[in-house]
Amino acid sequence: MQTASLLYYFLLICWCIDFAQNQTNEIPRRQRRRMRYRGSRKGSSAYHRPNRQPQMKTSTTVAVVPSIPLINIDDGITEVFDSFIGLGGHESSYSVLPGKKGHCTANGMIMYDKAVWSPKPCITCLCSKGKVICDETTCLSLTCHKTVIPEGECCPVCSDIEPSDPSDPMLLKSLHTQAEMDELLRREKEELEGREKEIHKKDEENRKRKEKKSQKEKKIHDYEAHQKVEEEISRREEEKRRAYEEEELQIEKEEEKRKENKHPEQERKQQKSEEEEGEEEEDEHILRGDVFRMPPQFPIPVPPAEIPPLPTGCSISDTTVSCINAKLTQIPPITDPELTSLELEGNTITSIPDEAFNGIPNLERLDLSKNNITSPGIGPQAFKILKKLKRLYMDGNALVHIPPELPSALEELKINENHLHAIDEDSLQELKNLVTLELEDNKLSEANVSPLAFRPLKSLSYLRLGRNKFRTVPQGLPTSIEELYLENNQIEEISEICFNHTRNINIIVLKHNKLEENRIAPLAWINQENLESIDLSYNKLYHVPSYLPKSLLHLVLIGNQIERIPGYVFGHMKPGLEYLYLSFNKLNNDGIDPVSFYGAYRSLRELFLDHNELKFVPFGITEMKALSFLRLNNNKIRTVPPERICRAVVNDDNVDDDSNDDEEEVEDSRLEHLHLENNFINTRELSPYAFSCIRSYSSVVLKPQKIK
């Protein structure tokens, strides 16, 4: 019996120690689960700024890989990049925007401030204001006779292998005292009781919350039913009062006639008899009673309220009603003052009457996208009751005007894919809190958009006007604007006054327009202090535009007809251009001067020159100290001479005693991705020193090559 007890206590102790160890190791996992990535501040922007913070020294060495931006390649050129699949998670792409300061990068990913991650077992890292701080997990000391390190863990745990003999001296040595075992059992019991209490507490809270909600709903429905009963009572009382007045008037007339013809004594008898009859009628009325006119001592009965059921296909969750693709033809009658979100996307609703939202006045989000709503079908007071509405989505309808009387609390308005053909100076009145406005794929142009249309929008920072009919940049842009999207229009010119009052603008997207470099005014944006990103892809440019903004970091010129990069075109920029994308143009070596990249040698991180007509690697690559990504694929390059990508450095300190020749060393490069595939390079004839400065040869892509 004693042996069995010892064995039982030994197994119990091993289990407790294992449980405590798992609890300790659970902390980094929970921290990792809390890691989250923030989307676009405004949801729909496809650009993110890569982190520009330098790598920080910490107690544990962690390889911080520069972030590789991502882009969706436009239209019909997607298939060209099929050969890039499988090159690793650090591949870059075209549509990259610089990131916010204070972020960190690790393994090619952007880590936001306060983010926590684990690059390897037993090491946990924290991003703190651009600095990467790492620490190693401390393992607890164990007293068991044998330990093992489980797969995927970093700390040892007690082995669960039982000794064959319970009287083994190693077993006796590892056993704790009776007091220690009792303490372990007591802690375990307290922990279990605490969990049970917590579960019971949560169940009780949920039950109270449901009861409270049901009571509120019952009160609301009872109140509405009571109101209906009172209205009916008032109506019937009014009818009876009118009938009584008419009857009294008729009786008075008859009495006057009788007085003229009868003796006073007879009149008294007649009056007495009439009073007695009146008292009898009153007593009879009190005894008989009436549904709508009852004695004061009896309460008015209130019929039970009827809760209108939600239509088929709708669901309710907390404060949200969702009727997506529910085949609705009108807005359902809902009465719930606590409702804050209503989703009616994908139905066949055609109108919004004035009383549509009377039962849900506290709505904050309303989605009416993909319906058949027309401008005449919206009542003039339809949205007036929604004083707290912040987000209104009406994409994919048949509106020709912006709805009237929109709430002043509105922060986000989307009317994409409609038939808007005019915005006058009163269309956006009172929307001083609007931050995001999307009006893409409509019929707007500078001819039907008033220069004063955007004046009331004092807080607007995000404006999308793509896929419209603009030939110039709209006038009267708000001073608060930060991001402007005008892709897929017919813009031919950028004048000097377009951005005179937009000192906070940070991103301008003008791809798929009809711009030529001589139609961009020299003073259009050169003095902008916050403009960091310009996308001029798929226009009619023949060379890189001059007079670019001084603050520019990111320039996209994909899919033009560019034949030349003028010298010193980037020389005036501070701190300097970081991302330059010139893919799918007509560049040849005669169009790139030795000083074409002057001003960007120390700042340029990514340079894309793929799908051009280059016959050899351009000069100046070796001067780019920060370059980490270089694309030269799909050109006409036949060889890569030494010192064209990797620059040799002469070291005079190491001189051989038997020779007077100086020893050459190759300076390390920051290049992490080099693409040279689909050229005419004979890989067997390449110099062994052509890529000697690149840290990993796996970063160099040479296959396949074209046949001569």
Instruction: Give the Cα separation of 247 and 37 in Å (integer).
Output: 80
Give the number of other Cβ atoms within 10 Å of residue 49's Cβ: 23
pLDDT band at 16 (very low <50, low <70, confident <90, very high): low
- pLDDT at position 648: 62
Share of the chain above pLDDT 70, in %: 70
- Domains belonging to the chain, first-starting first, are 2-176 (no CATH), 211-288 (no CATH), 563-708 (3.80.10.10)
**Mapping DSSP to helix (H, G, I), strand (E, B) and coil, where does residue 238 land?**
helix
Each residue's pLDDT tens digit, 259-285? 666 555 555 556 566 666 655 555 444
Average pLDDT, rounded, for the chain: 77
**Mapping DSSP to helix (H, G, I), strand (E, B) and coil, where does residue 661 land?**
coil
Contact between residue 672 and residue 66 where contact means Cβ atoms under 8 Å apart: yes
What global pTM score does this model have?
A: 0.59
287 burial level (CB within 10 Å; 0-12, 13-18, 19+): exposed
Instruction: Give the Cα separation of 512 and 491 in Å (integer).
Output: 9
Each residue's pLDDT tens digit, 183-192? 777 777 788 7
* Residue 254 token pair: 């008859």
Rounded mean pLDDT of 451-456? 92
Residues pairing with 630 in the sheet: 607, 674
- pLDDT at position 608: 97
Instruction: Give the Cα separation of 689 and 649 in Å (integer).
Output: 13
Q: Which of 153, 190, 157 is nearest to 26 (CA)?
A: 153
Rounded mean pLDDT of 664-686? 82
Each residue's pLDDT tens digit, 96-148? 444 455 677 776 677 777 777 777 777 778 887 777 888 777 776 666 767 77
Query: If you count DSSP H runs as helices and E runs as strands, how many of each does the chain have, helices first?
Result: 4, 26
Cα angle, residue 206 at apex, residues 200 and 209 outer, rounded to 5°: 140
- pLDDT at position 535: 97
Which region among 193-202, 388-397, 541-550, 604-613 has the lowest average model confidence (pLDDT)?
193-202
Instruction: Give the Cα separation of 81 and 72 in Å (integer).
Output: 11
Contact between residue 561 and residue 587 where contact means Cβ atoms under 8 Å apart: no
Instruction: Give the Cα separation of 191 and 45 in Å (integer).
Output: 48
Instruction: Give the Cα separation of 71 and 52 in Å (integer).
Output: 18
Rounded mean pLDDT of 680-686? 89
Q: Which of 486, 436, 438 is nearest to 457 (CA)?
A: 436
Strand 320-322 to 554-556 pairing: unpaired
Residue 543 phi/psi, 5° resolution? Answer: -150, 165
Residue 111 phi/psi, 5° resolution? Answer: -105, 120
Contact between residue 699 and residue 671 where contact means Cβ atoms under 8 Å apart: yes
**Mapping DSSP to helix (H, G, I), strand (E, B) and coil, where does residue 114 land?**
coil
Q: Which range scores top for mean pLDDT: 286-295, 637-646, 649-658?
A: 637-646
pLDDT at 657 over 70: no
Higher pLDDT, 91 or 605: 605
Each residue's pLDDT tens digit, 333-376? 888 899 999 999 999 999 999 999 999 999 999 999 999 999 99
Instruction: Give the Cα separation of 18 and 157 in Å (integer).
Output: 6
Instruction: Give the Cα separation of 438 and 702 in Å (integer).
Output: 44
Largest Cα span, the chain: 163
